Amino acid sequence: MPWESLLIFIARGPITPPMARGTGLEWKALRTNRTLHWALGALAALAVLFVAISWPRWQLRAQVATGFGARVACSCRYIEGRGLDSCKSDFAGLKGMGLVRFTDDPAQRTVHASVPLLASRKAAFKPGYGCLPDKVN
């Protein structure tokens, strides 16, 4: 029965072919496997280090982009009277603005701009003053 061979496999482990026993081939495969694990671990550690070093710069750029985007989109929406989708097209040629997401709150006359996990800013329309961005924390 097939389940009996499965139980034997679980009890004894994988069976090496007769020609590989005692020839050192199993140790070479084990060393290659260890080297691969070390290389992948080192690569993952370098990726984590890169993100940790770059994160503050990414946050600063995201703060600038969201502040600028919220202010300009608010002016476009509430001073020019255009729709938010029309205002989004104004940022098409600007580097880094593709990551910024915009939402509109017509009741409070605000535009909220955010870059996921990095920054979030809003700008509110105030009659007589135009669109004013919120304070940076």
**4-20 tens-digit pLDDT:** 555 455 555 555 555 55
Q: Running DSSP on this structure, what letter comes out for residue 62?
A: H
pLDDT, position 35: 80
The two most distant CA atoms of the chain are separated, in Å, by 89
CA distances 16 to 1, 7, 9, 30, 86, Å, are 22, 17, 11, 13, 67
Q: How far apart are CA 84 and CA 93, in angstroms?
A: 17
pLDDT, position 126: 92
pTM for the model stands at 0.66
Helix (H, G, I), strand (E, B) or coil at 15: coil
- Element holding 5 (H helix, E strand): helix 2-12
Question: Does the pLDDT at position 23 exceed 80?
Answer: no
CA contacts within 13 A on the Cβ side of 38:
6
Q: What pLDDT digit, counting tens, does each position of 48-91 carry?
A: 999 999 999 999 999 999 999 999 999 999 999 989 888 888 88
Tally of residues, the chain: 137
